[in-house]
Amino acid sequence: MTLVPPERIERSILLIRGQKVILDADLAELYGVETKQLVRGVQRNLSRFPHDFMFRLSKEEFENLRCHFGTSSQWGGRRYPPYAFTEQGVAMLSGVLKSRRAVQVNIEIMRAFVRLRRMLASHAELARKLEALENKYDAQFKVVFDAIRQLMAPSEPQPPKRRIGFVVEEPKVPYRTKMKRRTRT
């Protein structure tokens, strides 16, 4: 039996700066500790976390992340950019957080990274096989190959949907900027 469902771990893995990472708040939640406790442990052992194991998000990345996930405003929530841990950084955390739960959760996280790597490798292998088949067969199968490629391609963002309801259009009323005085004759 696992402490954390694999789907929960896989949802926590993000792609930032071209690397698969997990943010400190997600890791703290998985380990069952407070984020500040995890960060404090990391800061006490900074020599264990070189830049390819862990990095801090820039202010722009942090703002984009806030907008993307709809996190709290400037009045509440997190005030400093989070740390992002690569697979190696997560492995190093088991030495910093010395609880039994941390070790077990760390094993599950490593398995999730391996599963993700296998999925990506199989996707690349599938693309290579498809290209080989396409080169082998003539143009009459081009339509089939194009359809398969469209299914493999990442989906594009959907255009914004129209708002529900109706709009009342009223005739524009011309307003006077200056009233003329009438003179009596």
Question: What are the residue boundaries of the structural domains of the chain, listed by start?
Answer: 6-121, 123-152
φ/ψ region of 32 (left if φ > 0, alpha if ψ in -120 to 50, else beta) reads left
CATH no. of 6-121: 3.10.260
**pLDDT beyond 80 at 131:** no
What number of residues does the chain have?
185
Q: How confident is the model at residue 177 (pLDDT cuts 50, 70, 90)?
A: low
Can you give the pTM of this predicted structure?
0.56
Distance CA 27, CA 25 (A): 5
**pLDDT beyond 70 at 154:** no
Of 45, 69, 67, 43, the C-alpha closest to 56 is 43
Write down the pLDDT at residue 104: 78
